[in-house]
Structure 1
Amino acid sequence: MLFSCKKYLDNNTEGKIPPSDFFKTADDARQSIIAIYAKMRKWEMTAFAYISIQEIPSDQSIKGGAQGDASFLNNYDRFAYTSTEGQINDYWIGRYQLINLCNQAISNIPAITMDETLKARLIGEAKFARATFYFDLVRAFGDVPMPVSVENAAVAALTRTPAVEVYSQIIKDLQDAAQVLPDSYTGAEIGRATKGAARGYLAKVFMYQKEWDKVLEQTSAIISSGRYSLEPDFYQLFRISHENGVESIFEVQNYAVLGNGDLSNSQFSQVQGASGNGFGWGFNAPSDSLARAFDAAGDTLRKRVTILYRGQTTQDGDLILAPNPMEGVTIPRYNGKSYVPKKDQVSGVNEGAAQNVRKMRYAEILLIDAEAKINKGDVAGAAASLKLVRDRAKLPYIAAPTIQQIWNERCLELAMEQDRFFDLVRTGQAKNVLAPLGFTDINSLFPIPQAVIDITNGTIKQNPGY
């Protein structure tokens, strides 16, 4: 679905139920929110477009895969992509389709007669989700169209809203969500958006805005809540058995169900899993630069978990094999955080389909807290938050950390978790770090998909330089 005033509204989110017959009951309201969560794991959200925009342009990863396979991914490593490249289109389309679902829920649920507390929570979940999708879009493209209801979609689809206004809407949505979302869930509802998730994203958005007092308001509330802690074993943190655990702030919920390919549709692990022995396709491979960064820090623990080399045996007893040659590296290697052990594979569905996508962890909250405190001159406070993260990695205490040391810790702790490129742009490091790969100031934003410009007859303009 391309983003236009007609097609935006042309998405029948309820399958076989005509839209005019939907949004009548409490069950309809529940189903509309479930549809949002379900589509968070689809191809455009977690596979090639995701790694193309948020990972491969960084210094941490390269295309990977076999020589010549999916060669278009090299365009993102070399900053040679254009406005017609498919992954840019997919990234845009996937997020606007989900914003459409959110807006339908936000616009229609208020009129349903149902329990008011549940109603408020469901609308809060939709606002939380919408905020995360707009956060992706504004970081990737800058000014973007910003429909916030079914009623204003036709007009809003035709113009780009200034990024500052998009950020204001993101903040409002997250603040609204934080007011009504619960602290936790039980049973089948575990994994839905919580108050802590809304606060976590607020902290991150305020970090992008450099509003450090507001960052600390959110991180302090999360830390003092006592609901979160660091998973002691960094390896287990990324395994299926520890999903939605003590460190989880928010995860995209994925499933592998024998014989059900529709439900087992996540390809997040599949596109990155070790090729050659049934784990996946081998794309988005950790770079030599990332390996050197781990080595320079003496960070053997996180390196072994993050980078799986050919010939390595994992803690679950899987020997990692790989074809030779593998594009871009002399020693084939893979993203260890997307690895799903053989014992957790389900035959007949996508490799690793059961693995959740970690979107935000408590470790990141601690690092956001440290960054805010260092910017406020609270060096001791920054050191205390940084220490918790470094202790798990078996690294020495830094008594007076610099901002660069905190950024370096983000690089290693969150490596291969689809955050590094935006981090480099946010912190002003991109021009120096990525210049050898071809980065210029133009590449701080990606091009608006040409199809969007065409379908709006040029009312939506292209980003400078493309």
Structure 2
Amino acid sequence: MKKIFFTLSIMGILVTSCSDEFLEKDPFGEITDEQVLLPENIEPLIISAYSILNGQGNEASNAFNSPASNWSFGDVLSDDAYKGGGGTGDQNQIHRMEIYTTDSQIIDVEQKWSVLYEGINRVNTVLKALKNSTEFDESTKNQRVAEMRFLRGHFYFELKKIYNRISYIDEEGNYFSNTMITSDEVWTKIEDDFNAAFTVLPDTQDDPGRPTKWAAKAYLCKTYIFQQKWTEANSAADEVIVNGGYSLLPNFNEVFLPDNDNGPEVVFAIQYSINDGSPNNYNGSIGDRLMPPGGPRYNQYGFLRPSQNLVNAFKTDVEGAPQLDNVDVTETDNVDPRLDVIVGRPGIPYKDLGINYEEDWARDLATYGPYGPKKRVISANDPNYLPSWPYVTAANYHIIRYADVLLWKAEASIELDELEDGRTYINMVRNRAKTGTYIQNLDGTADAANYLIATYDTAFDTKEEAIVALRTERRLEMAHEGHRFFDLVRWGIAAEVINTYLEKEKIQRGFLTGATFVEGKHEYMPIPQSQIDSGGTDDSGNSLTTQNPGY
């Protein structure tokens, strides 16, 4: 084991938002080592650890290279979205990610890694300060330790799912390179952090940006899901469902409104705010600032463009079941009503603006097609939207919402051959889409499209049928929330699904010509070359940090 030691400069910490209330604090000046251990000085360090959740690791406006929502890593890398923007040269490094020619030196690979490890750095600094502080109220200290362990679990989870072969650093400065710690050992450490958080955290928090006991248990469930520990995941999901107090909102189109940022469906979210006095409104959704879709009310950055394949996935048959034929949707087809909450489609009203989305909103229409992002774009009429640079919003990003937990429960049940339980929990999510309000035409006299959706009212005939239903439902419900690519990888079907997707999409979207997903390589990002270069060597001169396969 190699020891490394690091320091966090207290002067000039950029305090970005984690909660509209408890993070609105000013940074403080340089202080002594003894003063750091005082509660009034540890609390701002805690705030700085929360602040990095939004992906903003510096005072530039380029958190879109390390977005907390993972729109580029989780959506654009999948079959759900194109990069968008002003052609392939606009943020070309994301285009390279999209066509699977990523290398270890592009800025997104470097910056995402750097920001997540900066989060770990800040957490570890706090944990060491709390350990050495004798002035802190014991109960408050224990809770703050639990909060920090939750955050550390989150940062390491993100690193694990994006890069896989990661290094590990604890609060004492003990450093394990990716050749010194196994994948299972990293997962165990992540589990340990969420378990420790669950043991101490309260059921509820006065500050919505702080995690609760049940948020920790839900994240532990997610950790089990990614390891295919189905029994443990099933049990953890049960605990959250029974005890967490969460519920689905009646209407899917209300889930992403700022008014419901911390509502009953939200398990844990990154808290954003605007017009709060912070420099350049960097407390807003800075990582997503390239999403405004154009048109008469939005700036035309035009990134995160829905793929034709995603739109086709919402087509339903005469009974309201997913059709899954990947034939392009027409105006007369039946569609799942969630489609027009998630995707801006020509001729369909956009939010509450009183106008239809039209294809001329779309930047570089010839390259990226007519569709625009909609799900996490908020109304230009909403005071939580900033209509000037940097065009951010105060709408939170949901790291985990209750629909996630229900679908994890369904997935674990199916994998344990409890197909009826799986069907029950899939239907809970699907029924909300069925019974909620649908998007209406401009005069409010009819549905805006032929919406038809049904629940699964008969038992699944086989486990394979149940798995298809689960995976389809997760795609439809969670589209454009940064999860799709990571789901495909953990299911072991990324190469098959993405290469099938590319085969047709290349015909319509010429920028994808030459794109090929290589199994055993493209499931993970490369380790940043800077990390390999600076990671040191062993006594024989071998690098302590090695590259992922294929790069």
Question: Same-fold call, TM > 0.5?
Answer: yes
Distance 2:157 2:78 in 1: 18
After superposition, residues 157-196 of structure 1 pair within 5 angstroms as 161-186=181-206, 189-196=207-214
After superposition, residues 44-443 of structure 1 pair within 5 angstroms as 47-49=64-66, 50-67=70-87, 68-112=89-133, 113-152=135-174, 155-156=175-176, 161-186=181-206, 189-225=207-243, 227-257=245-275, 260=278, 261-262=280-281, 264-276=283-295, 277-279=297-299, 281-296=301-316, 297=322, 299-310=335-346, 312-317=348-353, 319=355, 320=357, 322-326=361-365, 328-344=367-383, 345-346=385-386, 348=388, 350-394=390-434, 395-398=453-456, 399-401=458-460, 402-435=466-499, 436=502, 437-441=515-519, 442-443=521-522
Residues 390, 356 of structure 1: alpha-carbon distance in 2 compared, 3 angstrom cutoff? same
Distance 2:65 2:349 in 1: 27
Instruction: Name the TM-score, length of structure 1 as normaliser.
Output: 0.92
Distance 1:354 1:183 in 2: 26
Deviation at 1:348, TM superposition (A): 5.0
Distance 1:427 1:124 in 2: 31
Of 36, 42, 45 in structure 1, the residue corresponding to residue 55 of structure 2 is 42
Q: Is the 8 A contact 1:453 1:460 kept in 2?
A: yes
Residues 19, 170 of structure 1: alpha-carbon distance in 2 compared, 3 angstrom cutoff? farther
Distance 2:7 2:345 in 1: 46
Q: Is the 8 A contact 2:351 2:378 kept in 1?
A: no
Distance 1:83 1:433 in 2: 24
Residues 328, 392 of structure 1: alpha-carbon distance in 2 compared, 3 angstrom cutoff? farther
**Once the two structures are superposed, what CA deviation does each residue of 1:122-179 show, in whole Å capped at 9, x if it has no partner?**
1111110111111111111122110011432xx4368553221110000000000001
Distance 2:523 2:421 in 1: 32
Deviation at 1:263, TM superposition (A): 5.0
Residues 158, 143 of structure 1: alpha-carbon distance in 2 compared, 3 angstrom cutoff? closer
The aligned amino acid for 1:465 is G
The aligned amino acid for 2:531 is V
Deviation at 1:350, TM superposition (A): 2.9
Q: Give the CA RMSD over aligned residues.
A: 2.3
More helix by share: 1
Aligned length: 458
Q: Is the 8 A contact 2:344 2:373 kept in 1?
A: yes
Distance 2:266 2:75 in 1: 21
Q: Which runs of 5 or more residues in structure 2 are unaligned?
A: 13-28, 317-321, 323-333, 435-452, 461-465, 503-514, 537-542
Distance 1:52 1:391 in 2: 30
Distance 1:171 1:89 in 2: 26
Instruction: Name the TM-score, length of structure 2 as normaliser.
Output: 0.78
